[in-house]
Structure 1
Amino acid sequence: MRRKVYTKDQILKAAYEVVENEGFSGFTARNIAKKMGISTQPIYLEFKNMMDLKNTLLDEICNHLYYDVFPVVRTGDTIIDLGLNYVYFAKEQSNLYTALYVQEYGGGKKMHDFSYSYFRELIREHDKYKNLDENRINALHVGTWITVTGIATLMSSGIIEPTEEDIVHLINRAIDAILDSDDISVLEKL
């Protein structure tokens, strides 16, 4: 009798579903195996350990965000569009958003680093921002990150329902305040 072989992709798909439904608190070999209806052994045959699986899963999610979610054109301004896409991702996939960006054992630093490098890529290509110095770029990232995270969190929990126009206005206010400020020292430290 042939044994069924479980692929890395099948395990990643099950891991994704577990995180999407339960967050990283449910990210255990036992829960992933249960989701697949198997023992934990195939997981450890494909991945060195759970950290290897988590990092591989986060890489897959980052690729999805990089190619499918963040580049969607909404206004034509890549920085505003990134903010809008982040907010809409949080609203449409609130469990996954919370698991990646909010939970203590979620994506944390990896997601922040990914988002920052994506943001820097956009800044370098944007006529309005490409001549900014490092401190101003960092302040712009932190300021817009705080703004869109606040909007995203409040929207995904159903507390506020701003229009797209409202969100664009708030992001623009944050950007303008940072670009016009003589003192961005608090944002540079974050």
Structure 2
Amino acid sequence: MARRKTITREHILNAAHEVVSTEGFSGFTARNIASKMKSSTQPIYLEFKNMDELREAFFEEVETYLRDDIFSKSISGDPIIDLTLNYVDFAKKEKMLFRALFVEDHADGKLLNEFGFQMFLAKAKGIEEYEGMSDEAIHTAFLANWITATGLASLATSERMNATNEEMIQIVKLVNKSLKRNPDFTITM
């Protein structure tokens, strides 16, 4: 009779999440993930072809977590401002995971950039000020908000600044007001 599988895909992904949340991507190795599960690396390679496939599954889980649990919270009533507030809150609560995902240089950084842009687009739909904007203007609005959010989040995680939600709302409003006054301004990355 075959032995029953005791370490599941979910166990492996949870261990990967724990490793990245404590060590960053430098710790994203089969050995470290197996160590978190108190097992050999064999269950990882039984479930995933290789570490690239595990990394891909991990990022799918992260995107679902960010979309459903982090960025879905309504705080101010303005979905774009809420993205910033939720991003900063995530950075404060999960400092190492935030740094691993959004600060460290890693192969999936561009995927996270695209994920952030798609989140912004989804939130901007139905907001009057974004209707009729060119693709370039919407992309600039995203980048301006993302740069602002990342700055606030980085300052919050390093405890160099502890802005209140009201202060952050005013900062984001100021950035967006400036964009409206300067419609020809563009940011490219």
TM-score above 0.5: yes
Distance 1:103 1:19 in 2: 11
Secondary structure of 1:87 counterpart: helix
Deviation at 1:4, TM superposition (A): 4.8
1:169 aligns with 170
Distance 2:105 2:96 in 1: 14
2:62 aligns with 61
> Which is worse superposed, 95-104 or 173-182?
173-182
Give RMSD over aligned pairs: 1.4
2:47 aligns with 46
Secondary structure of 1:104 counterpart: coil
Q: After superposition, what is the alpha-carbon deviation per residue over 1:97-149, rounded to whole angstroms, capped at 9, x for unaligned?
A: 00101111264111111110111111122122122111110110010111110
Secondary structure of 2:163 counterpart: coil
Distance 2:107 2:136 in 1: 28
TM-score, reference length from structure 2: 0.95
Return the letter of the residue paired with 1:103: E
1:144 aligns with 145
Distance 2:96 2:181 in 1: 36
Asked if 1:17 corresponds to 2:5, the answer is no
Return the letter of the residue paired with 1:179: K
Secondary structure of 2:128 counterpart: coil
Note if contact 1:87-1:148 (Cα within 8 Å) is conserved in structure 2.
yes
Deviation at 1:156, TM superposition (A): 0.7
1:7 aligns with 8
What number of residue pairs does the alignment pair up?
A: 188
What runs of 5+ residues in structure 1 fail to find an aligned partner?
none
Runs of 4+ in 1 over 6 A off after TM superposition: none
Note if contact 2:137-2:183 (Cα within 8 Å) is conserved in structure 1.
no
Distance 2:132 2:101 in 1: 31
What runs of 5+ residues in structure 2 fail to find an aligned partner?
none
Return the letter of the residue paired with 1:116: F
Note if contact 2:88-2:152 (Cα within 8 Å) is conserved in structure 1.
yes
TM-score, reference length from structure 1: 0.94
Deviation at 1:167, TM superposition (A): 0.4
Q: After superposition, what is the alpha-carbon deviation per residue over 1:139-170, rounded to whole angstroms, capped at 9, x for unaligned?
A: 10010111110010010111101111110011
Note if contact 1:79-1:122 (Cα within 8 Å) is conserved in structure 2.
yes
